[in-house]
Amino acid sequence: MVEKAIIIGLDGVIPGWIERFIKEGRAPHTEELIKRGVSAEAIPCIPAATATNWTTIATGAWPGTHGIAGGNVTHLPGEPLDRTHTGFREYEDAVPSEAEYLWDAVERAGKKCIIIKYPVGWPPTIRNGIVVHGRGGGPGRGFFEVLPNTCFSTIAYRGAIKVELSQASGWSNLPQSHSKPLETEISLTPTRHGGGQGTRYRILIIDSRGKGYDRVLICRSKDAGEAVTELSVGEWSRWIYDGNFKVNRFYTGAYPTEEGKQLTVTYRFKLIELSPDGRRFTLYCSEVEPTEGFTYPPSIAKEIIKNVGPIIERQGYDAYRMRWIDDETFMDLQKYEAEWMANAATYLMRKYDWNLLMMQVHHFDYAEHLFLKYVDPVDQGYDAERYPPERYWSMLKRDYEFLDEMIGAIIDEAGEDTLIVVVGDHGQCPVKNMVNVEQILADAGLINFEIDVRGQKVIDWSSTKAYPTMPCNIFVNLEGRDPDGIVREGEEYERVRDQIIDALYNAKDPRTGERLIALAMRREDAKSFGLYGDRVGDVIYMTATGYGGGHGTMMPTAKIGTGSYTTVLIMAGPGVKEGIRISRPVWLTSVAPTVAYLLGVPMPAQAEGAILYEALETATIREK
């Protein structure tokens, strides 16, 4: 039995890539952990997506038991077939897990937990431990942010706020400028938490050396002597703490909602570009994040910000995708996140009592989503001339170096008497082509829709027999169960399910003739994959390898090019064998039971996975 255990979750890691990074000497801490412990290829649950699999890791239960069965979304019986709920617990319409979490089982045994940025970890369910944030990533916006990251530019970048520069007038305390100063104005106004009031800045642009415009002053008024920050191209501002923000409805998911809440927020700027002639100007602003509401107990938020630094939630993913920021700025944000996670974990480990620390790091998954298509020739987006693979491999390698340094810092702080577990939720694969399941069903006459004047699809439920409500899940529009149900139970229901399966298997890639669907089956046949209950579809499908997205709908064992849907499991510490590679695949359902066993606490109440006895010193194992 061990007194302390740490689970470090790495979202989206690909086993083959980690092996590559180790061989290149970029991951010494990961390599050492493997050498002194047990490693295995881990198989994600279906769908191989974030919310489903981090819930499985935390509960030890299959999706049919914990109920997060649609990847990052879940459908509830009796609701319209096009309605889903997020699989991340913090939102008001979220569907919580129906299985107990490992941290609750540990607390039930009288021990204490620290949970940091673990998806499905917020709002807190423990009462005697610490929870920081609660969503490591996933699609859409950050949960706590008051305003997403923003770009102000004279260039019409997608999603950026266009600004115009004009000759400055009415300023006091102007610094020396060899060209006539330019000015513009920007506003940071809340778009989350019901909107509200924010901050306006005056921007002054000067030519400080007589070689063209090169400096930007960000001021609250037209007084250059009271600039908040002054930047050259490539420079970040300090973190700005701003008490001028007021949101209409401050919702955290854990504490009572506050109407008209005055907030102190944090953010920082970076000057991305400024041409000497002043025609090109791009200013990036990080997410505007509150300084409260994201921890349990509430007082931990101020401690974290003071001793570790402000949180960020999306680590530059959207900004890079929309071309607001350059490679180096993206890497700045990735590095900040890895260092923040290491520092937050080690600070809390040193100061507070704990027995289980669970954390998840999401930024490497973002990097994969952005760059996999540029480094793997199998992917439909691969274009070596336009997007040199070496450029993107360089960023991916640096990004994993950040993760490895984080792992090393946490291991050093934990000491040799602590169980260390590193685990991923899924890998990623290059995409040969996307799969439009809705169109497949429409072509088979199972969905009827029209396009309205806004260009949006409008489903005609009176003549629609089936709908792909969630990834991997198709629901029959069943009479008596679904609000607009038209398919009768019995023979018609079975006939429609046969039509769905036939349509899926007959769908082929028009370019290659390859089948788009690897497996399609009735709900009752999916039990062997851990999918059952009324939250799963009437037909379950999985797309063929290389089809249907970087992760989510392919078979959990899919491998193509440099990619893999499988992920990693590494364990080291007291009670764990040394230098062993488990030759068989390991299911993610085994993580929680094994950690609970080593901690000497009951496993989570609904856990179904097996304890990995073969990884433990008391058992024998076949070496690979």
Q: What is the pLDDT of residues 32-42, one digit of tens each?
A: 999 999 999 99
Do 529 and 452 share a structural domain?
A: yes
Q: How far apart are CA 459 and CA 400, in angstroms?
A: 44
Query: Do 151 and 284 have their domain in common?
Result: yes
75-130 per-position pLDDT tens digit: 999 999 999 998 887 777 778 899 999 999 999 999 999 999 999 999 999 999 99
Write down the mean pLDDT value for the chain.
95
- Give the mean model confidence (pLDDT) for residues 195-221: 98
The boundaries of the domain holding residue 504 are: 437-548
Q: Is 321 exposed, middle or buried (0-12, 13-18, 19+ CB in 10 A)?
A: middle
Q: What percent of the chain stands above pLDDT 70?
A: 98
For residue 71, tell me if it sits in a domain: no
Q: Which of 272, 293, 314 delimits the end of a domain?
A: 293
The predicted-structure confidence for 342-356, as pLDDT tens digits, reads as follows 999 999 999 999 999
Give yes or no: residues 197 and 326 share one domain: no
Q: What's the pLDDT band for 134 if we cut at 50, 70, 90?
A: confident
Same domain? For 405 and 465 the reply is no
* 452 — pLDDT class (breaks 50, 70, 90): confident
What is the reported pLDDT for 138?
52
Residue 516 in 3-state DSSP?
A: coil
- SS3 (DSSP) at 86: strand
pLDDT over 90 for what percent of the chain? Answer: 93
Note whether 282 and 334 are same-domain residues: no
Q: Does 152 share its domain with 288?
A: yes
Whether 407 shows a pLDDT value over 90: the answer reads yes
Contact status, residue 606 vs residue 65, Cβ threshold 8 Å:
yes
In a domain, 357, yes or no: yes
* Mean pLDDT, rounded, for 488-515: 97
From 133, 135, 142, select the one nearest 120 (Cα to Cα): 135
Provide the pLDDT for residue 456.
87
3, part of any domain = no
Which of 74-88, 136-150, 266-280, 493-507 is the least confident region?
136-150
pLDDT of residue 622: 47
Residue 385 lies in a domain: yes
pLDDT over threshold 70, residue 620: no
The residue out of 293, 322, 343 marking a domain boundary is 293
Asked whether residue 58 is assigned to any structural domain, the reply reads: no
pLDDT of residue 314 exceeding 90, the answer is no
Separation between Cα atoms, residue 582 and residue 578, nearest integer Å: 11
The pLDDT tens digits of the residues spanning 608-619 come to 999 999 999 986
Whether the link from the prior residue into 175 is cis, omega within 30° of 0, is no
Is 78 within a domain? no
Which of the 8 DSSP states describes residue 225? G
Number of domains the chain is built from: 3
Q: Given this model, what pLDDT does residue 136 score?
A: 52
pLDDT, residue 550, reads: 78
Going along 550-620, which residue ranges are E strands? 559-560, 563-564, 567-572, 580-581, 586-587
Per-position DSSP letters for 429-484, written without gaps between them: ---SB---HHHHHHHTTS--EEE-TTS-EEE-GGG--EEEEETTEEEE-BTTTSTT
Length of the chain, in residues: 624
Q: Is residue 77 part of a domain?
A: no
Q: Confidence class of residue 183 from pLDDT cuts 50, 70 and 90? A: very high
CA distance 565 to 563: 7
Query: Of 505, 531, 558, which one is at a domain's C-terminal end?
Result: 558
Residues 271 and 200 in one domain: yes
pLDDT at position 328: 98
Check whether residue 167 and residue 232 sit in a common domain. yes
Residue 575 pLDDT > 70: yes
Rounded Cα gap, residues 553 and 473, in angstroms: 10
For residues 220 and 360, state if they share a domain.
Answer: no
Provide the pLDDT confidence category of residue 623 given band limits of 50, 70 and 90.
Answer: very low
Q: Is residue 445 part of a domain?
A: yes
When pLDDT is averaged across residues 421-450 and rounded to a whole number, the result is 96
pLDDT in tens, 252-302: 999 999 999 999 999 999 999 999 999 999 999 999 999 999 999 999 999
Sign of the Cα pseudo-torsion (302, 245, 288, 51, in order): positive
What's the pLDDT band for 583 if we cut at 50, 70, 90? very high
What average pLDDT score do residues 199-228 get? 98
- Give the pLDDT confidence score for residue 530 in this predicted structure: 97
Residues 6+ apart with CB under 8 A from 340: 308, 309, 311, 312
* 447 pLDDT more than 50: yes
**CA-CA distances (angstroms) from residue 215 to 55, 182, 207, 276, 467?**
48, 11, 7, 10, 55
On whether both 166 and 200 belong to a single domain, the answer is yes
Tokens 């990251």 label which residue?
Answer: 149
β-sheet bridge partners, residue 540? 473, 521
| Residue 140, pLDDT above cutoff 60 | no
Q: Do residues 205 and 261 both lie within one domain?
A: yes
The reply to whether 216 and 159 lie within a common domain is yes
Burial of 155 (0-12, 13-18, 19+ CB in 10 A): middle
Q: Tokens 């041409």 belong to which residue?
A: 275
Per-residue pLDDT at 91 = 74
- Which residues 6+ apart lie within 8 Å of 290 measured at CB? 144, 145, 146, 250, 263, 264, 265
